[in-house]
Structure 1
């Protein structure tokens, strides 16, 4: 089966499964897949603190804290994402939101991994006081090459 045929088959299968089962959308709201592209073992991290202000026709203050940290061993991985944004315009609060994600992954075998995670999000201006999610999955790698990979997850 050529690579094109494989992708076409997988796309068709995913479309059929979506239409047939019409599952309730996942509650996961923070996509961490781009973070997983970091290669190698050890600690990878970056954090930022941004503060900005403006005085004059518009008096505005904005603060942002963000952090991304990954500790990766030979068979396991600990990942933490954090983001918080706050701002005021003319002394009136107009932004107050944040997200956090903590995930532990244990690669039990070459193709299987166990994942445990928690996420929390709040946005005071969208009436989202707190949204919390806990979950566990078994992740099975079906395909991987230099550029692409395809996984199937079981769990909730």
Structure 2
């Protein structure tokens, strides 16, 4: 599905005078090692709280190559954004819902102004079906649902 979307994006970009090569394959290691120009991919929040997404996309506590902070997308893009990092850090410990919402809005605005080389085209979901006769299922909002104990009676 991603390849079809990438090819469609390539065709649309060409109409605007922008040409790029679509290179299908497993690129996560290159992405984590900062060896790419632009990544088009899928993603989504891993936690049922905005902080779970923000810490991944808008946080880079140490931009040095030696830091090897491949879990943070901003680090992977080599984008040093201290103001975004400061705001994300502040949002982590903020307990006032109104202030948190204000921080998240400000982070979103600043992130859009920063324009990192990430193109997210879809959000991943963890689909599942529950019906009578199924036991042992416990859904997980972090896309890590464990199916080992699920049984069909």
TM-score, with structure 2 as normaliser? 0.23
Q: Could you say which structure has the larger radius of gyration?
A: 1
TM-score, with structure 1 as normaliser? 0.22
Greater RCO, CA 8 A, separation 6+: 2
Higher percent of residues as helix? 2
